[in-house]
Amino acid sequence: MFNRLPPLNSLRAFEAAARRGSVSAAARELNVTHGAVSHQIKALEAVFGTPLFERNGKRLKLTPQAALLLPALTHAFENIAAATALVTRPSTSGSLRISCVPALLSFWLIPRMHQFSEQFPDISLTLVASNDPELLYSPDIDVCILYGDGTWLDCWARLWSNLQLFPVVSPTLMNSRALRSVRDLRDHVLLHGDDGREWNTWLAAADALDMPRGRQHFMSDARLSTEAALSGQGVALGDTITAGSLIAQGELVVPFDLSVPANDAFYVACRNEVRSAPIVKVFVDWFFSALESDRGAELQASARRAIRGRGRVDALAAAAESFTPVSRARAAAQRPVKRRLKS
């Protein structure tokens, strides 16, 4: 038995490398060099007098002795980190650092920042526009809001919202160039916020995957393709979350009724040890409740319009059954366009 614990730095280096399956990944997580992690692992192996890894290619494989050690270490470090978070953030005040998908940050979160600040005036937000899942493991970020499949390792993640995708275009461009049928898209510039997969998914659903295409522009994220659509540069794919307010305000128009499920979804995620911090909990709870409030307000507005139009109380049920964000937003946004087309 050991009279004292092995060096803490060596234990941290081993735990990160074993959990991530790579010395390089551990070095990035711990913000040290590859050589420093290797040195600490060798020092720990010297303390135990036995190898901890079987080095076979790039992926590290645990020895039986290391497999016994890893769960206890991971649990211990998570407990230490959670206790540290509680000590350093004993209340819902301080600074919270959030990484968010650029389009969601610009078009949904920032317009609602005042709501969060009114409820929690002692919390200061630092917002980073990014969809990089590596930030989940960065000590500089507390909460990540990501667009993906939710399968990130060694973290807490929860589905926030699925998405429906549909074409969006500026009213000015729609007035100046016909967009009455899907085939008219060949005369428009297609704006991509990814590598083209999502447009292919929508065109396949519209039975137009083989349609000849004109010019196409590819951009690093949906925020840029949406901004390009706003300025009349072409037709982008919008979604029910980030494009909703732009459509309702008439800044974008939805030319077709067809929408398709997005390939991925929005998730809220963070490191396991951060999840228990009160300041993180209040933001995550608010973030989910704000989405539910939005959905409730949209449904009520749709129902009120249905009642005024039909004059029957039972229109509430019909509105609830027929309501979709696409049809609601399209109707609201296209009315001024039709008036301009007639003039």
Give the pLDDT confidence score for residue 296 in this predicted structure: 66
Q: How far apart are CA 198 and CA 168, in angstroms?
A: 13
Give the pLDDT confidence score for residue 312 in this predicted structure: 38
Q: How far apart are CA 297 and CA 312, in angstroms?
A: 20
Residue extents of the structural domains in the chain: 6-85, 92-158+266-296, 162-261
C-alpha pair distances (Å), 327 with each of 137, 208, 334, 337 = 40, 21, 10, 15
Q: How far apart are CA 217 and CA 188, in angstroms?
A: 11
Structure tokens at 157: 């993640």
Three-state DSSP class for residue 52? coil
Give the pLDDT confidence score for residue 57 in this predicted structure: 65
Structure tokens at 231: 């300025």
Element (H, E) at 3: none
Nearest partner of 233 among 259, 220, 258, 252, judged by Cα: 252
Give the pLDDT confidence score for residue 157 in this predicted structure: 96
Element (H, E) at 157: strand 156-161
Instruction: Give per-10-residue mean pLDDT for the chain (343 aa).
Output: 75 90 89 92 90 78 89 85 63 86 96 93 95 94 96 94 95 89 92 94 92 91 95 94 91 93 95 90 94 71 45 37 41 36 28
Nearest partner of 210 among 235, 185, 233, 188, judged by Cα: 185
Nearest partner of 275 among 94, 148, 132, 154, judged by Cα: 154
Three-state DSSP class for residue 143? strand
Q: What's the fold here for domain 162-261?
A: D-Maltodextrin-Binding Protein; domain 2 (3.40.190)
Left (φ > 0), alpha (ψ -120 to 50) or beta: where does 90 sit? Answer: alpha
Give the pLDDT confidence score for residue 89 in this predicted structure: 52
6 secondary structure, DSSP code: P
Identity at 260, one-letter amino acid code? V
The answer to whether the 92-158+266-296 and 162-261 domains have the same CATH topology is yes
Three-state DSSP class for residue 49? coil
253 secondary structure, DSSP code: B
Structure tokens at 323: 């309501």
* Class of the CATH-defined domain 92-158+266-296: alpha beta
Q: How far apart are CA 43 and CA 41, in angstroms?
A: 5
Q: Work out whether strand 235-239 and strand 164-168 pair parallel, antiparallel, or are unpaired.
A: antiparallel
Q: How far apart are CA 14 and CA 8, in angstroms?
A: 10
Element (H, E) at 100: strand 94-100
- Spatial strand order of the sheet with 235-239 comes to 216-218, 190-192, 235-239, 164-168, 260-261
With respect to CATH, is domain 6-85 assigned 1.10.10.10?
Answer: yes
- Convert 122-133 to b/e letters by CB count within 10 Å (16 or more is b): ebebebbebbeb
